[in-house]
Structure 1
Amino acid sequence: MIERPDVVLAAIPLLAVSGLALRLVIALTGVGTGLLAAPLAMVGYLAALALVIGELLVGPVAERSAEESS
Structure 2
Amino acid sequence: MFERADAILAAVPLLAVSGLALRSLIAVTGVGTGLLAAPLAPVGPLAALALVFRELLVGPVAEDAADDQP
Specify the code of the residue in structure 2 equivalent to 1:53: F
Match for residue 57 of structure 2? 57
In structure 1, C-alpha distance between the alignment counterparts of 2:42 and 2:28, rounded to whole Å: 19
1:67 maps onto 2:44 in alignment: no
Match for residue 35 of structure 1? 36
Give the unaligned 5+ runs of structure 1: none
Query: Counterpart of 1:6 in 2: which secondary structure?
Result: helix
**Aligned-pair distance for 1:23?**
0.6
TM (normalized to structure 1)? 0.92
Specify the code of the residue in structure 2 equivalent to 1:52: V
Give the unaligned 5+ runs of structure 2: none
Match for residue 22 of structure 1? 22
In structure 2, C-alpha distance between the alignment counterparts of 1:39 and 1:26, rounded to whole Å: 12
**Aligned-pair distance for 1:32?**
1.8
**Aligned-pair distance for 1:40?**
1.5
Task: Give the % identical residues.
Answer: 71
Runs of 4+ in 1 over 6 A off after TM superposition: none
- More helix per residue: 1
Specify the code of the residue in structure 1 equivalent to 2:25: V
